[in-house]
């Protein structure tokens, strides 16, 4: 068997073994609504576009979308997060159940984070956000950490999905890290830059290039940071003492293992239809592959391939295990290009 065919066989077997992996996702649970509209002119009471609503669809967002992506890949997925005691929280629970995610919610007095996007054809008009971005109260925080404590001894790794909606206070982060260390679990994280200093023992972070620049500036007291990808990923690896996957949209991604040279992966899809949720796809596939035992380079290659499937579809899209296997089997030219 040729080296390329051996590599393809290995990747197929890796994806097929995702069903053996158990992942706990912790993070900001969101519900997204999309209003599909038709532009019919200008309103007669103000100089604004007049839109006719044709359809509304709802999908999981934030940490809930990360969990959905993992479950779609076949991973045994648990999710801990906060929702409100409202109709959006009820719908979120239903969508997670339908996605085969084991959801352990903190049902709070604060509202479920809810984002409504108004679309007309390919035109994105505006977005409404209904949310509370303050830190969760102490009662909710205790409930949250107790739920995490009940799950950490049942999983292979932890994924932290931070959308800055109040979950990851310094106290909660410290307890998550202590529980991870006690259970010998890696933590893979997609973090908002402002919360980066809460974390001390991350194994992997997956910022985009804008977030990478902001993290550097925070470490340098707001001073202008380097904007060149290779320098960013090296700086982040040194500053945070962890592995880094830097997402660069059409320029692919840079992979910086903690003790190995940086590698560049070209984007597989050069004409994306929609990049919504692609970062969640990357994080989920990395977690699935690392949980299965892949090294960072192998996991990143699969994540890059999964992202190429996701962005080739309209809307927020979760890639299935069978789709990823099919893509791997068709990837001989991509591997030859590597």
Return the structure tokens found at 114. 């809810």
Decide if 286 contacts 206 (C-beta within 8 A): yes
Question: For this structure, is 280 an active site residue?
Answer: yes
Sort strands 49-62 and 204-205 into parallel, antiparallel or unpaired. Answer: unpaired
Return the structure tokens found at 284. 């989920």
Task: List the catalytic residue out of 156, 190, 280, 338.
Answer: 280
Decide if 152 contacts 185 (C-beta within 8 A): yes
Cα distances (Å, whole numbers) of residue 92 to 56, 108, 109, 298: 15, 14, 16, 33
Q: 110: which residues sit within 8 A by CB, 6+ positions away?
A: 82, 84, 132, 136, 140, 166
DSSP per-residue string spanning 52-63:
EEEEEEEEEEEH
Measure CA of the first residue to CA of the last residue in the chain; give whole Å: 19
184: helix, coil or strand? coil
Decide if 191 contacts 200 (C-beta within 8 A): no
Hunting for tokens 């597989």 — which residue is that? Answer: 268
Cα distances (Å, whole numbers) of residue 55 to 37, 38, 52, 277: 7, 10, 9, 21
Q: 73: which residues sit within 8 A by CB, 6+ positions away?
A: 15, 18, 284, 285, 288, 306, 319, 320, 321, 324
Decide if 41 contacts 117 (C-beta within 8 A): no
Task: Name the phi and psi angles at 101, rounded to 5.
Answer: -100, 130
Positions marked catalytic: 280
């Amino acid at each position: 068997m040729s080296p390329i065919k051996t590599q393809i066989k290995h990747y197929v077997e890796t994806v097929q073994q995702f069903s053996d992996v158990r992942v706990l996702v912790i993070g900001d649970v969101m519900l997204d609504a999309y209003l599909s509209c038709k532009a019919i002119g200008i309103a007669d009471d103000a100089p604004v576009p007049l839109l006719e609503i044709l359809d509304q669809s709802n999908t999981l967002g934030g940490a809930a979308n990360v969990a959905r992506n993992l479950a779609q890949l076949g991973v045994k997925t648990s999710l801990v997060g906060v929702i409100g005691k409202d109709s959006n929280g009820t719908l979120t629970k239903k969508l997670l159940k339908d996605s085969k995610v084991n959801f352990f919610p903190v049902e709070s007095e604060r509202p479920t984070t809810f984002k409504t996007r108004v679309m007309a054809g390919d035109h994105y008009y505006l977005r409404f956000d209904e949310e509370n971005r303050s830190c969760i109260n102490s009662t909710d925080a205790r409930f949250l950490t107790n739920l995490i404590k009940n799950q950490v001894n049942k999983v292979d790794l932890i994924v932290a999905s931070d959308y800055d909606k109040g979950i990851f206070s310094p106290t909660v982060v410290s307890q998550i890290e202590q529980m991870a260390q006690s259970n010998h679990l890696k933590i893979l994280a997609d973090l908002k830059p402002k919360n980066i200093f809460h974390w001390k023992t991350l194994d992997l972070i997956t910022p985009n290039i804008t977030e990478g620049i902001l993290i550097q500036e925070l470490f340098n007291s707001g001073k202008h940071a380097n904007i060149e990808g290779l320098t960013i990923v090296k700086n982040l690896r040194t500053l945070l003492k962890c592995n880094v996957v830097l997402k660069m949209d059409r320029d692919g991604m840079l992979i910086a293992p903690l003790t190995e040279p940086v590698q560049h992966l070209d984007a597989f899809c050069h004409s994306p239809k929609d990049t919504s949720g692609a970062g969640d796809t990357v994080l989920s596939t990395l977690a699935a592959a690392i949980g299965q035992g892949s090294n960072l380079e192998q996991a990143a290659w699969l994540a890059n391939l999964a992202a190429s499937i996701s962005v080739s579809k309209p809307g927020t899209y979760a890639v299935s295990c069978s789709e990823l296997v099919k893509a791997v089997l068709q990837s001989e030219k991509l591997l030859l290009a590597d």
